Structure 1
Amino acid sequence: MSLSAPRGGRADVVEDWTSAPVLESEVPFSGRIFDVRRDRVDLGEGGVVVRDYIEHPGAVAVVALQPFDGVDHVLLIRQYRHAARGHVWELPAGLLDVTGEPPWQAAARELAEEVDLVAGQWDVLIEELASAGAFPEPVRIFLARDLSDVPGEHQHERHAEELTIRPFWVPLDDAHEAALAAQISNSAALIGVLAAHAARAAGWATLRAKDAAWPAWEAQRAGGETAPHPT
């Protein structure tokens, strides 16, 4: 059947961020970073179903790009992640957990806090949802360039897992090869490295303004604010 599905082009690949009606909603688990929400959802022709999913504030990640000896390098960080039981390669990243803070400013804050860098140029590189069916964490990945060090007296004091962060500059081409060779497993790092490599090949024509609209994040924020609770 799928071979006879409609065909189209890029203009047709548009996601619809309209929520199905939520009949009831509750939070059976509330955690430090995320909650588990349970909704009764009216899918119309698909009937009424119950769906559990993770509510998450969203996150940002940063592809920090710096030329060394004429070669573009990307900054990877190795950090211990207990849930994954390993030290994994990531990008500087963090939660959108400061009320009213624009995503690009959150990215700038995380870049400074985790690796002591500031950037003079910010662009939106790409976005992702971790797992749209159950863990729809919206992540916006920025490209940061024109880098400089945070002065020593303003450097962030790190604690817990942040103390294990090990920054490492890798040529973008090498990072791209490492991603394809399964040497990088973190989704934001994989997507960021692959997207940066492709965007550079396109002359950076795919980049968007640092404050470009972010429909996936806005849809989840609106849903979290308006979802009804049983009385």
Structure 2
Amino acid sequence: MKEKVLIFSGAGVSAESGLRTFRDMGGLWNEYAVEEVASPEGWAKNPELVLRFYNERRRAVISAQPNEAHRAIARLEEFFDVVVITQNIDDLHERAGSSKVIHLHGEIVRARSSVDPNLTCQLDGADLEIGDTCEKGSQLRPDVVWFGEEVRLMRAAEKYVANAERIITVGTSLTVHPAAGLLKKAKFSSEKYLVSVDEMHPPYGHRFLRGSATMVVPHIVNCWIAGRKP
């Protein structure tokens, strides 16, 4: 039976593929506060603006390509039982070849009904516009978790973290809760690494490896495949 590996990824991984993070935006987008375009209140106030913001981000995601970190993570599946839990709303992990990806904050390449969160559809690169409706007749919205909304799939994610024998945490500041608290569920005995370009205090028994995701993650993966510690 293959060892269970858990990858917990954040915006820093996608940033190396050229995708801007909220931090990169400095809290503003085209002079609008990010909360105005990423919250239920913003949606109720100005849905056209919210759709324009996410259409722009979706186009950026579609034109971006998976990087060496994404590809290295996907390569692990040849040797381990791998689950990726990501805070990212892009599909770069999937496009790199990862087959088990849990999106805690939703997926920008999908839309959902504004009255039934379980009614979703693939966008296939299309923009969302006012007047685009689901089969129940309600306006479609981005299938992402906004500020103030409940993070998805937490129970399933907790189980994967608790069962993992090896963990790589990469590209996240571990300041966004409740997602950041998932790592508390990890086994004391699991082999754990925190990868970041910023100096960080490694949490929950992680070993800190400073450097970019595209440099450090492939190194860890190569070591694991060769049967040695990074």
Higher helix share: 2
Q: Normalising TM by the smaller chain, what interval?
A: under 0.3
More strand by share: 1
TM-score normalised to structure 2 length:
0.26
Please report the TM-score for the alignment, with normalisation by the length of structure 1. 0.26
